[in-house]
Amino acid sequence: MDKQHLRLILNGKSAGRDDVREAVNEVRSMGHEVSVRTTYEPGDIPRLVREALSDHASERIDTLVSGGGDGTLNEVVDATLHELAEDEKPPFAFAVLPLGTANDFAGQIDLDADDILSCLRFAARAEAKPTDIGKVNGCVFVNMATGGFGTRVTSETDPNLKKVLGGAAYLFTGLQRFSELAACEARIEAEDFTWEGAFLALAVGNGQRAGGGIRLCPHAKLDDGFLDLTILPFPTSGRAIDLLTMLLDSGAEGLNNALIQKKVRNVTIQTEDSVQFNLDGEPMNGQSWEIGIRHHQINLRR
């Protein structure tokens, strides 16, 4: 096995974890180089990405490892691509060290967040495979963009509640917020597809899961050149509470008859009122959304 240079960008919230330190030491003892950079405040990730790109020119970095949750991976990839030309591929692969609460993306690529050592070994050993990314109004998402009531639940879930309940915290928060349920009116257009109406929630997935393991786009693949669009129309029968409970509890597969699902390359969404979208957990607000796929834009160890 060739010696690898892993550059770990570590979310400062996890810097004191013993299992992270032990994993770094163990992978170093295998003969690999692991250089660690820790975030401290907003703006650190773009700065550390620029440093990695600069360092790569003189000391070859094989893999940029994102140590944190889905949002950390999103920010690392987004910062890297913003430093490059439009169609330029990053000079190193990416890998995930799952240290967040939900770790939805890590779960899809079969990483065990309870075994950090195996995850860092995987970053050194696994094949770097071509992987798609999505873009919303110029901003990157690796896993999923979600919008509607369910998005607000995700972004407003108490971090302390997430620590105690894990993914179930999203369901708990959603049940507390049912009094605020309201329809989002939208026009959604893609290749050979137009839909207009009120939705309760929607997802555009490169990956399959979000919100603590909820399979919103169960048929999505990371390298097929498509995004998976899932729309949950707002029901006319007053069953909004039941539908949202089922979605949060069992994912899209439990709601097949109530959902609209399409594979798309590009999709535009116009909403009557301002709505919130989450890009791998990072919130954006607006009424006009241009969403597209960038096929095989990065290489990811998976």
Residue 282 appears among annotated catalytic residues: yes
Question: Among 185, 191, 282, 290, which one carries the catalytic annotation?
Answer: 282
Taking the C-alpha atoms of residue 208 and residue 227, their distance in angstroms, rounded to an integer, is 10
**Distance spanning both ends of the chain, measured CA to CA:** 17
Q: How far apart are CA 88 and CA 96, in angstroms?
A: 21
Which three-class secondary structure string do you get for 279-291?
ECCEEEEEEEEEE
Determine the Cα–Cα distance for residues 115 and 292; give it in Å rounded to an integer: 34
Which has the closest alpha carbon to 200: 247, 233, 242? 233
Residue numbers annotated as active site: 282
